[in-house]
Structure 1
């Protein structure tokens, strides 16, 4: 049966339904959307090839005609599908829709397709083209072959709760530029997609531009700014200067592509300016700024500062590295094959990343359950939820806890949560002694107040910097940092996560006036994955 003939049959059924009444009318509706009484269809198992082809063709025909009701009734969630499909025509102003199906995929039920259409608004129009796919399933109660409803069927970037709209843009476009005035585009720097969307939403009306007309995705669930899909008529973009460095950003983009689930941030310690932010995958969740995961032994930068600031030990003071340490009935170990060193100093144990050395020292007076939290908040500016970077960011969490998690927190496990932005800032504070809240856009643009903290005593900062220098040349960070010139320092780490066979890789380091931190989920030891990412960024920025 052809696409047009089948659509006519569906339309006739709808007419009968509207003319009927009572239970009989309900049966027709429910039969069409798969919600009818059990046994109505009689078939079971996956749809066969003919059913898949016919269902997809019928759905495409109804969609092309703008018949949201008919198209929705060919899905397994008619009520939700109808709303989005009607909005496709009425709110997004998409017309002249032509859909070309591709070859059914090897699973036998997934059909890729290409949509070509036109978006028209207020006398202006632009062509629209994109690819998507659908899956045909068996209705659970009717036995009918139906499109498995997902908003991504209508457009691959749509998620639950999203809508498509065309109209005057919510904010003027911005032409974001780096610190030297070079234009920053998503095409050149894919990781900046979510960053530039947020900057536009927040600063578009402050950058001097005028809004145009756009087709956009409106995110009504998470409150995120609109995602622009197509510019129907141009506005006048305003120029927005950021702190980013195009050269460092390019290096960061390339570096994270080495490993899946990787993120990196670079900052300028002398100012707090963010020089680069990159994620792989480039689109979606901004793990570099918003991630909340255990940072492993990179946390020992803060723990070492706590020990020094509270007079427990010094860089050259004792920090014995034993095979194991027991804290309130929980036994902690070091990395496999690490030889014990009962005469180790703090600098020795920091460079080797000896877990037991740090755990054995955290019950020394005057330390308490809150000491690490206080160090993180008061010295490093973490965990107060008050960073104002210019976009959404998380500023870390180091909760005060008793029991085994107090020991685990000291080595970057337990309940500690960080992201690369946080750890890049930690390194910047450690080597300068001054906490400067990281930011992407000058606070002068919107008079926002940046977070403050008292930073570190000069003696503590000097010792931390020296320990990081040693770790970069003789310790666990040396394999990654090898060949990097200038004033360098680093701390490598790995974080064990329940359910993962491979630990998360973490690394933070500095070179001259650039500090960077990276994480690679399930990347192994710090120098295995995150380390090379940081080194590439430091090489570009130093």
Structure 2
């Protein structure tokens, strides 16, 4: 498939150089830090092993000497000796020989690191030579030293000894790729790569699998790559001859993506998404750390008070307006049910109206209005925001899961969901879409590639009634002008609206911070897990993305 794009200091020695065939490699250059010279892994004694010997942990000296001797033999081309110092000589022999022959690797240079426990890290520079084209494959991996059945120190053989992450049945291959690479471009035809935008690397790999065979044109590259155990082509490790890639156009905007990557950089468990409010096109996806969980598209967390956008729309549909009385009193309940508390920064205001409650994010002002919800619940309005259907975005995302109770069901669950708690599960993609729907009055299911490429149904819904949409935008504008979003959204124009949120988690030291907003034709949302107040943690992320639009 196409792929998106020591105590004794000094050198132990520079051992022989020379070429050899399938049996091994030539040219060896290895460095280490040992307590003493000499030693050989797997040499052992002549006495019969005992159970204690077989189960023992090798000493630090044995780990260092055995690991170094194995790497010395491997780099020096002595495959048989290297494999004999492992706990699986036959399998190791096949693996080492296959690495050379299948990968067209003529020699390796290995530099060991300092052992830690039973592990020895090392770096490899593998020389690849295929049909007169040469390149270097450089990487870091590690081995583990245990003991064999005799109790002698031995390298624990695993495919990852050859290359990090290599699984059983995988192999390193050099040759012409199965299909052309995938050239991914943004909505303005600018090429984008996972190296440029780390948050997109996982998504771009998915694109290669999902769409590579659907696209026409291009010529394959000559590459060193991982062939998976099922025979499919995996990750490209290095390219010897660049082919012409197939072109995949996305809805992304490289400028906004760069801004989003910068906005989440250095933050822990943060994610943000930006959308085009007119089409639902996904403009940016970023999360931090980029090697961790995708909190932008794949988080499943309660959205906190950002969900009051949907609740407010439902209350307006039920007959309320921004000026309708909605007293804000800490500790209030609905129909003698669960008592709710407001954030410490929200003071009691018995004379509050819905607009005031929305702007300052008063929980009790909302839950006391549960009797005004149309049909007694949130489901019908949530449907207008596209929240009761599975979304077919073009890359895997969890379904929106607003598990709305039926009228007459669990009343405490209903009031909890009114303020974005309870069993609600959302992510920044969903909440950016909620803001976009509020901005335009119409739900556009988010997409990241052209509709024609996506198999299956695209979610749709009826638009919000025009009066509801107008009043909802006024509420979100109020949060910007004189509410909890005012500080972070300072300087945005009259067509900007926002909602802050923080979602409490049982046992957590701090709530999750949420923020969603729109400005012009761009809507964005962010989540910072454990971030506390949304305006302070997630708000600056969203504001930075919107300012870049």
Tell me which interval the TM-score lies in, with the shorter structure as reference length: 0.7 to 0.9
Find the counterpart in structure 2 of residue 399 from structure 1.
Answer: 403
Provide closer, same or farther for how the CA distance between residues 353 and 167 of structure 1 changes in structure 2, counting only shifts above 3 A.
Answer: farther
CA contact (8 A) 1:213 1:231 kept: yes
Which of 508, 512, 520 is the aligned partner of 1:504? 512
5+ residue gaps in structure 2? 1-11, 17-37
How many Å separate the matches in 2 of 1:245 and 1:219? 33
How many Å separate the matches in 2 of 1:151 and 1:320? 65
Displacement of 1:71 in angstroms is 4.9
Query: Is 2:516 the counterpart of 1:515?
Result: no
Which of 434, 439, 443 is the aligned partner of 1:435? 443
Displacement of 1:532 in angstroms is 0.4
How many Å separate the matches in 2 of 1:335 and 1:91? 63
Find the counterpart in structure 2 of residue 483 from structure 1.
Answer: 491
Query: Is 2:366 the counterpart of 1:358?
Result: yes
How many Å separate the matches in 2 of 1:240 and 1:317? 50
Judge which range, 428-437 or 286-295, deviates more: 286-295
How many Å separate the matches in 1 of 2:192 and 2:466? 38
The equivalences for 1:71-470 within 5 A come to: 71=83, 74=86, 88=99, 94=105, 96-104=107-115, 109-119=118-128, 124-134=133-143, 136=145, 154-157=162-165, 164-205=172-213, 206-217=215-226, 226-311=234-319, 313-326=320-333, 330-364=338-372, 366-368=374-376, 371-376=377-382, 378-385=383-390, 387-401=391-405, 402-403=409-410, 404-445=412-453, 449-470=457-478
Judge which range, 84-93 or 279-288, deviates more: 84-93
Which of 50, 54, 62 is the aligned partner of 2:65? 54
How many Å separate the matches in 1 of 2:402 and 2:169? 34
Pairs aligned (count):
509
How many Å separate the matches in 2 of 1:356 and 1:290? 30
5+ residue gaps in structure 1? 17-23, 32-36
Displacement of 1:506 in angstroms is 0.9
CA contact (8 A) 1:201 1:225 kept: no
How many Å separate the matches in 2 of 1:161 and 1:213? 22
How many Å separate the matches in 2 of 1:93 and 1:537? 46
How many Å separate the matches in 1 of 2:196 and 2:506? 37
RMSD: 3.8
TM-score by length of 2: 0.80
User: Match of 1:181, SS?
Assistant: coil
Provide closer, same or farther for how the CA distance between residues 86 and 464 of structure 1 changes in structure 2, counting only shifts above 3 A.
Answer: farther
Provide closer, same or farther for how the CA distance between residues 124 and 78 of structure 1 changes in structure 2, counting only shifts above 3 A.
Answer: same
By percentage of residues, which structure has more helix?
1
TM-score by length of 1: 0.81
Find the counterpart in structure 2 of residue 526 from structure 1.
Answer: 534
Provide closer, same or farther for how the CA distance between residues 478 and 150 of structure 1 changes in structure 2, counting only shifts above 3 A.
Answer: farther
How many Å separate the matches in 2 of 1:122 and 1:412? 61
